[in-house]
Amino acid sequence: MPYPFTLPTTSSTPLDAFIGSPSHPSLPLTATTQRSILRDALKKHKRLPPAQQAAHLGVVQDAINGYLPYILGIASAFTSGRIGDEPVVVTNVKQLQTEWRLTLSATLPGREPPRSPLSGVWNDVAFVLQTLAYIQVQQARSQLQILYSSNIPSPERRTAAIGSAMKYLLEANSVHNYILNLHTQDPTSAPLDTVNSTQVALAATALAEATLITVLKDDPYTTAVIQARNKDDKDWMISAPSIPKVRAHLFARLCLCASDHAQRAAASLAPGTGSLDPSLLNYVDDLRRTSRAKAARFLACDAELAGKTGEAIAYLRGARKELGLAPLEQDASKRKGWKGLKQTFAEKREDRKVEKGSDDWGLDAGKLEEARVLEWLEVKWVKMNDTINVQAIPPSEPLMAAMPSGREYHTPKPYTPPQLDASLLARLRAPLDPHQHAFEGDEEDSGDEGVSRNPVVVPGAFPGAATGGSGNTYY
């Protein structure tokens, strides 16, 4: 499943104190107001509980779309002296300094990632676009969450959710590719979140996830396993679940293509490029493993439909090795011992995360869910092979080594950023009112956005006494 990115926050930066425009005096002031609105939206989003953050993503996206035309226009005026077709003069009063919180950097447990001081306009543009890509991935996660809940959605709702998630991930891929082409002033001083290697990895990861979603749309086995563990499901009383035939060989090649994208992402995030969050590195590796395991599973389905049950079981066992799982025991229909209890507990914990909408569900890139499908199929086919077919099970290594090449499915479109309207740009020619000030936001510019702004009651103090968050009260 898509990686649960954390939206970064930024400092309060009066752009009009760093940038001037003799031709359009109101441009820096209006841009400052739009940036303050974005900063407030990011801080409020961070303080929301995880279950409420998905509904607030649209507010943050609107704030980004409101600020992007201004900051991109200023950057374009610095580079070419024009915004669209209109000449615009922009001058540097002093070097622009902004701060953004690095959410992809590794930090000590329990501590927030630090804010990084950034110089120049293009670095600010890169972080705004990076935040937009994170929002697209988070919206894809919220769409896919309903597919893994205990309540099976209708076919129409399932198709709509998968289509929306695919669109969001392709947009995230296009945004990351757009950041690659930005005119950063000094690539050596760019933060780890926006360097070219990170953008290549994030773009490849989004494309791999979008490719896997293409397979998920017509994958009946994942739905059958989810339905089988639903205690409230009564369809089995009427008829056995029917598994329609799938284009197994085509799906296997699509999964192998997703694995290739994940491998490219892992190579871009290789050790030596910086101190990245280990959870992101583990996620990319799990995504590669899950993609190859899915490909092996579809090749197993293709072999089983052709009557080669032994070869199908070998593919399933090869897929389990790809996921790093131990082989199933001889009687795998009932989980026994501490290992079975531990596996059942891990699955129930992941199910609770999906139901509650926790921000860390799916952090294994669907590895646990794929392991459930592999176990369900292997138990079923081994029992059938022992009682009916009695075919020899070949070793899985030669089959895994002879898997076909991947096949590309998506052709991402380039990202087109929003631009300032000509009529709005003409209104920015108005001279400044000496008494006019930019909106600086309602949120305090503190280093820790998670600190509550409610007064702290001192234990043992006089009733009614309270203090702020500074902790400098004497009693």
Domain limits, the chain:
1-194+413-443, 244-409, 448-475
> What are the φ and ψ backbone dihedral angles of 115, each rounded to 5 degrees?
-80, 140
- Give yes or no for residue 337 having a pLDDT over 60: no
Mean pLDDT of the chain: 81
pLDDT of residue 31: 92
Instruction: Write out the H or E segment, with its range, that includes residue 58.
Output: helix 50-80
Instruction: Tell me the helix, strand and coil percentages in the chain, rounded to 5.
Output: 55, 5, 40
CA-based nearest residue to 9, from 120, 114, 122: 114
Q: What's the whole-model pTM score?
A: 0.85
Tokens of residue 26, six digits: 């109101």
Lowest-pLDDT choice from 56-65, 149-158, 183-192: 183-192
Segment 247-259, tens digit of pLDDT: 888 899 999 999 9
* Rounded Cα–Cα distance for residues 412 and 213 (Å): 15
* One-letter amino acid for residue 290 of the chain: T
Contacts of 2 (CB under 8 A, 6+ apart): 137, 138, 140, 141, 144, 165, 169, 206, 209, 362
pLDDT in tens, 39-91: 999 999 999 988 788 899 999 999 999 999 999 999 999 888 888 888 889 98
Q: Which of 24, 169, 181 is nearest to 90 (CA)?
A: 24
The answer to whether the Cα torsion of 294, 295, 297, 301 is positive or negative is positive
| Torsion-angle region of 377 (φ positive above 0: left; ψ -120 to 50: alpha; else: beta) | alpha
Tell me how far apart the alpha carbons of residues 330 and 353 are, in angstroms, rounded to a whole number.
31
Q: Calculate the alpha carbon distances from 64 to 39, 124, 127, 134, 183 in Å.
A: 9, 12, 11, 12, 20
Cβ count within 10 A of residue 113: 17
Q: Is the model's pLDDT at 418 over the cut of 60? A: yes
Backbone phi and psi for residue 360, each to the nearest 5 degrees, phi listed first: -115, 15
Check: CB of residue 37 under 8 Å from CB of residue 439: yes
User: Domain 244-409's class?
Assistant: mainly alpha
Residue 153 clears pLDDT 80, i.e. is over it: no
Q: Which of 306, 297, 312, 301 is nearest to 382 (CA)?
A: 312
Q: Strand, coil or helix: what is 383? A: helix
